Copies of this chain bind each other. A is one copy, B any other.
């Protein structure tokens, strides 16, 4: 059995090495979790004893297959709860993360399978992120950044990279959500910002930082 704290470390290591494609070093984990390097060393040794991570002193950490499986299960739980909060309880997409961070630690395995069924075996969470299935398989996600689209092209918003509350609330403000159609009207080379038509009507302007964090498929 794992504690909440252990689960959070496993999640952080998974996120660093898989999603952010960085090294899971003692300091990167500490920074990611807003804790101290010495705390990370303590926990990483504990996780190594439980065969959840491979750990050699002074040389960073990787997840074992067992740790990987545990991490993916946490991702599955988090995203299913997020979808529940969004779809069934009517929360906005910038309000769900914190609550899901708590819900994901509820222990019951049946619960998560029943929730999956209740939500109709969904493939995407409210931020467009893929939900791994019971076996840990991720559905294919063939999106690319809005910043990679060129002038004149139309696309559909299918996800976001930045899930912070401020960014999501900003997208709400300018009228962008999952499924929104965007057309690239112009590309401003000096700062790489875009002029964009939203759903064939409103014209907006998005900074490079913004368009790097919006995921699209071509229409």
**Cβ contacts under 8 Å, A102 to chain B:** 106-108
Q: How large is the interface on A (under 10, 10 to 19, 20 to 34, 35 or more residues)?
A: 10 to 19
Give residues of chain A (74-106) contacting chain B, Cβ–Cβ below 8 Å.
85, 88-91, 95, 98-99, 102-103, 106
Interface residue? A118 (CB, 8 A)? yes
A98 to B111, CA, bound (A): 11
For the complex, give the distance between the alpha carbons of A188 and B99 in Å: 54
Q: Is A115 an interface residue (CB 8 A)?
A: yes
A99 touches B111 (CB 8 A): yes
Question: Is A36's beta carbon under 8 Å from chain B?
Answer: no
Is the CB of A18 closer than 8 A to any CB of chain B? no
Residue interface mask A106-144, B partner, CB < 8 A = 1: 111011001101100000000000000000000000000
A interface residue numbers (CB < 8 A to B): 85, 88-91, 95, 98-99, 102-103, 106-108, 110-111, 114-115, 117-118
Q: Which residue of B lies closest to A95 (CB)?
A: B110
Q: 10 A-B contacts, Cβ less than 8 Å apart?
A: A85-B114, A89-B115, A89-B118, A90-B114, A91-B114, A98-B108, A99-B108, A99-B111, A102-B106, A102-B108
Contact status B99-A106, CB under 8 Å: yes
Residue of B nearest to A90 (CB): B114
Please report the C-alpha to C-alpha distance between residue A118 and residue B103 in the assembled complex, in whole angstroms. Answer: 17
- A114: B residues at CB distance < 8 A: 85, 89-91
Chain B residues, Cβ within 8 Å of A107: 102
Which residues on the B side are within 8 Å of A91 (C-beta)? 110, 114
Which residues of chain B are within 8 angstroms of A98 by Cβ–Cβ distance? 108
Contact A89 B103 (CB under 8 A): no
Most chain B beta carbons < 10 A, residue from A99, A107, A115, A117: A99
> Which chain B positions have C-beta within 8 A of A103?
103, 106
Contacts A89-B111, A89-B117, A89-B118 known; list 9 others, CB within 8 Å.
A85-B114, A88-B118, A91-B114, A99-B106, A99-B108, A99-B111, A102-B106, A103-B103, A103-B106
In the assembled complex, which residues on chain B have CB atoms less than 8 Å from the CB atom of A108? 98-99, 102
